[in-house]
Amino acid sequence: MKVVLVCLVGVFATLVAFTSGELAQICLPPVPFCLLENNCVCTSKKSPIPTEETPQLISLTFSESVTDDLYTNLWAPLLLGRTNPDGAPISATFFVPHEYTDYRRVHDLYANGFEIGVNSITSNYSELYWATASVDTLVQEFDGQRTIISHFATIPGEDIVGVRTPQLQLQGDVSIDAFVAAGFEYDSSWSSTSLDPYFPYTLDYLSHQECRLGTTCPIQSHPGFWVAPIIDRRRYTDRSWVDCNNLSTCYVNGTSDEIAEWLLRGIEQERSGNRAPITLIVPSDWFRMIYNSYLGFAKFLDTVGTMDDVFLVNLKQVVDWAKNPVPLSEFKTAVTTPETECHRNTCKLRTAAGEVRYLTLCVRDGGGYCPDVYPWLGNPLGEIQKEA
Ligand SMILES: *[C@@H]1O[C@H](CO)[C@@H](O)[C@H](O)[C@H]1NC(C)=O
Ligand SMILES: *[C@@H]1O[C@H](CO)[C@@H](O)[C@H](O)[C@H]1NC(C)=O
Ligand SMILES: *[C@@H]1O[C@H](CO)[C@@H](O)[C@H](O)[C@H]1NC(C)=O
């Protein structure tokens, strides 16, 4: 009886998988139908152009609330004024969650050439929530946050194309279906071991990236949707190498020189290897918890700034390079953002439960009025909800 049941469940699961989306085929080379000009790239550790002509791209990424304090005391001093080998200012990606975010500062980041991506409205701490959310809920979480950012930070919605889930919790095809439905272009939630440095790829075919314990990975085909993998860093501990994908959880400490040295050695691994783009997750609590980390990180950025083949870019630039892989000599990193001035306005609002929240937004072009209620899931513009 049990066996029959298991079989039935298996058949049912297969049917569900087939009816709700097409299962992705294995991408075996040569695959003549997966071509870059059709916005299709298979998972690969090989650069699309000769390795020695491949620029080494590094993306610093941030996935926490953009507060006035972090902007003023951490990100601006750390990042502004640095340039790439082509003379253009460096960039980075901020995946912005809603709570505690100061949207005037989000606008300032954007105006300084940084990419703004999405990290959900609720940032719900419950793993179960993200593991069981419906496509509809996920669309509300991610598309809703794009609406909030676009409206309250006055950033064109079409410039917000990337998403990273809270705590990198992907729910396989359900998450990707939601991202596609919401019109996003790439996801950066999928980490890869330090020994598997993959280039960005699309989900037309089955990904070769390892599906790590505790995560659910997409198995259906999502044509033209990009994955920007997060390649783990490594640290040496107790005579063995340990992977980590978040500078906070790498627990590397020491003098600022030692911290800079560790980061540089990690970069060398790809730079002298296949030159896959590197994504660093840089949480502010790393700077609070690990003594010397700020100075060490600044020294690391200083040294990187002297290398004429290494570029600090945002993840959209990485995906754009993957779509049009030009050699080092032709690679340009300038980001054009319209010159826009923005004044702050802080609104005292109430949540649906009646709690008080302050929302700081950008006032420009006659916009910047306070919403009626605190923007939230299902009501990203904070409008008064009409009685049913
Ligand atoms: C998080 O999700 C749970 C359901 O899993 C829900 O009860 C809770 O209210 C959510 N919290 C937030 C902050 O949205
Ligand atoms: C990085 O680690 C910190 C804890 O130190 C955590 O708060 C943060 O959410 C992590 N970031 C990501 C993207 O996983
Ligand atoms: C720094 O490293 C030492 C030795 O590896 C360790 O004992 C200590 O706990 C570390 N400190 C922090 C803050 O991680």
pLDDT tens-digit profile, the chain (388 residues): 344 444 444 434 443 444 458 899 988 766 668 999 999 999 999 999 999 999 999 999 999 999 999 999 999 999 999 999 999 999 999 999 999 999 999 999 999 999 999 999 999 999 999 999 999 999 999 999 999 999 999 999 999 999 999 999 999 999 999 999 999 999 999 999 888 999 999 999 999 999 988 889 999 999 999 999 999 988 877 778 888 888 988 878 899 999 999 999 999 999 999 999 999 999 999 999 988 999 999 999 999 999 999 999 999 999 999 999 999 999 999 888 777 778 899 999 999 899 999 999 998 766 668 999 999 999 999 998 765 5
Q: Is 31 exposed, middle or buried (0-12, 13-18, 19+ CB in 10 A)?
A: middle
Which residues are paired to 236 by β-bridges?
A: 241
Closest to 244 in 3D by CA, of 303, 312, 290: 290
Does 37 map to a domain?
Answer: yes
DSSP SS3 for 256: helix
Structural contact between residues 153 and 180, judged by C-beta atoms closer than 8 angstroms: no
pTM (predicted TM-score):
0.92
Does 111 map to a domain?
Answer: yes
Domain span at residue 316 reads 24-330
Instruction: Say what the pLDDT of residue 190 is.
Output: 95
For residue 242, how far is its CA from the centre of ligand 3 (angstroms)?
15
How would you classify residue 64: left for phi > 0, otherwise alpha for psi between -120 and 50, otherwise beta?
A: beta
**What's the rounded Cα separation, in Å, for the pair 331 and 121?**
35
Structure tokens at 148: 């909030």
Instruction: Say what the pLDDT of residue 280 is.
Output: 96
Tell whether ligand 2 has an atom less than 6 A from the beta carbon of residue 281: yes
Instruction: Say what the pLDDT of residue 234 is.
Output: 86
Residue closest via CA to ligand 1's atom 4 equals: 129
Please, what's the b/e burial string for 63-95 (b: 16 or more CB within 10 A of its CB; e: otherwise)?
Answer: bbbbbeebbeebbeebbeebebbeebbbbbbbb
Instruction: Say what the pLDDT of residue 9 is.
Output: 40
Give the ligand 2 atom nearest the CA of 289.
5
Does 300 map to a domain?
Answer: yes
Residue closest via CA to ligand 2's atom 5 equals: 248
Does 336 map to a domain?
Answer: no
**What is the domain-level CATH number for residue 215?**
3.20.20.370
How would you classify residue 26: left for phi > 0, otherwise alpha for psi between -120 and 50, otherwise beta?
A: beta
Longest Cα–Cα distance in the chain = 70
Tell whether ligand 1 has an atom less than 6 A from the beta carbon of residue 128: yes
Total Cβ atoms within 10 A of residue 382: 22
For residue 226, how far is its CA from the centre of ligand 2 (angstroms)?
23
Tell whether ligand 1 has an atom less than 6 A from the beta carbon of residue 353: no
Tell whether ligand 2 has an atom less than 6 A from the beta carbon of residue 246: yes
Residue closest via CA to ligand 3's atom 6 equals: 253
DSSP SS3 for 131: helix
- Count up the domains in the chain and report the number: 1
Does 124 map to a domain?
Answer: yes
Does 376 map to a domain?
Answer: no
Which residues are paired to 187 by β-bridges?
A: 163, 227
> Is the alpha carbon torsion for 14, 16, 18, 21 positive or negative?
negative
Instruction: Say what the pLDDT of residue 387 is.
Output: 58
Does 62 map to a domain?
Answer: yes
Strands 233-237 and 240-244: antiparallel
**What's the rounded Cα separation, in Å, for the pair 76 and 24?**
43
Query: What Rg value do the Cα atoms of the chain yield, rounded?
Result: 22
Give the ligand 2 atom nearest the CA of 248.
5
Instruction: Say what the pLDDT of residue 3 is.
Output: 43
Does 116 map to a domain?
Answer: yes
